[in-house]
Every structure is written in structure tokens, then in C-alpha cells.
Amino acid sequence: MKKIIYKGTIEENDYNRVKDIDSENYVTPDGKTVLPKLAQMPLRDLAILSFTSENELKKYYTGNEEYFSYSVVELMLDTRIQTRNLSRHKVSSFEDALYLLYTYSEEIPQADDPKYLSILIAADILNVEEEDIIEEARRDNKLYSDEDKNLFVPVRWIGDWYNDALATLGISSVIYIQTRGTGKVKILIERDLE
């Protein structure tokens, strides 16, 4: 089931619940339970960040660890080639959700409309190269530029790509994306644990 929810289309009760979720506390969809984050990130969430299946990740990872330090995962994300030295990441795993906070340098162009993000940010979120974003966005007629020739794509388009990647991995989820227009993007992925 494909379901992506953005700030502009979130029902008020969902928006109020999700806007208060942070890296330490997760409010369940019933709005009554606050769950603390897990002590470390499970392998299943590391697989999601790598856009691969847990089994595929296990082929390459020969260790016995099932959980990983958040600081190591954040370092891994901070040093990816797409935005090296341009972004910082905060991640948290909960029993049925994954929280991601992307904080970007002022060097990365910001769109005037928070419904659009720079291709640099899109590449970081989707773990692909900028050229891949440009090619796919052109094909979908979703590539936009400003007067300075900076390139942007719609947040909804990023969410669709993200959801399609998770669906390919067999992960059914609801994705919440919040852009704040201040160099921050918050993503909450609520997984269906069947």
C-alpha cells in the first residue's frame, strides 16, 4: 500500500502528533503511547538507510552485531560523497518507526517554497548521485531551477521515490516528510510490522 504524507496534506491530528516527534520520543499513531528510542540502531534500519534488504546487507556484513551505535551510523551518513561536509544527520530507531533529521549547510541552495528541495538534498536523502536525481526528475518533468540556475525537485517526488524504493524491498510504510525552510528536513518512516 502506497501512502506518503507531507506537511501540506497531513490531517490535523496526525500533523500535531508527528510534528512533536523528535529523536528521543515517538508517539504511536493512536496518539497515546510515547515510546523511547532503541538503545542502538537495528540492522533492519541500517538496511533501510542503505536502500537494500536486510538479507542483502548480511551478505556483505560478516560480523555478528545486530545493533549499531547511532554515532557510527550518523558518521557514515555525514561522510557520504553526496554531501560531505555539507550536512549533519540525526537518526533514531523505534520499535516500528525510523526517525531521520537532515540539517544542511547554508551553502546548499534553499528554495523559496518549502515544497521543493535542492537536488543536493534529494541525492543525500535518496543515497544516489546528483546526476541520478537530474536524470529521473527530467524524465518525470519534475526538475525546476531558480534564477541562479540552482536545481530543485518537489518534496512529494522525493517521497514517491523513497516509498517506491522501500516497497521494492517489501517494506510497507507511511512516510512523513517535513521541510522547515530553515535547512532542516525531518523524515519519519512508520513501518508495518506484520
- pLDDT tens profile 42-92: 988 988 888 888 888 887 777 778 899 999 898 888 887 656 667 888 999
DSSP symbols for 107-164 = TS---SSTTEEEHHHHHHHHTS-HHHHHHHHHHTT--EE-TT--EEEEHHHHHHHHHH
Decide which of 103 and 136 is more confident: 136
pLDDT of residue 41: 92
Task: Kindly state whether residue 163 falls inside one of the protein's structural domains.
Answer: yes
Number of domains in the chain: 1
Residue span of the structural domain in which 90 resides: 3-105+156-191
Select, from the ranges 5-14, 28-37, 169-178, the one with the highest average predicted confidence (pLDDT). 169-178
Instruction: For the chain, list the strands marked E by DSSP.
Output: 3-6, 25-27, 34-36, 41-42, 67-68, 87-94, 97-104, 116-118, 144-145, 151-154, 173-179, 184-191
Average pLDDT in the chain: 81
Task: Kindly state whether residue 120 falls inside one of the protein's structural domains.
Answer: no
Task: Kindly state whether residue 18 falls inside one of the protein's structural domains.
Answer: yes
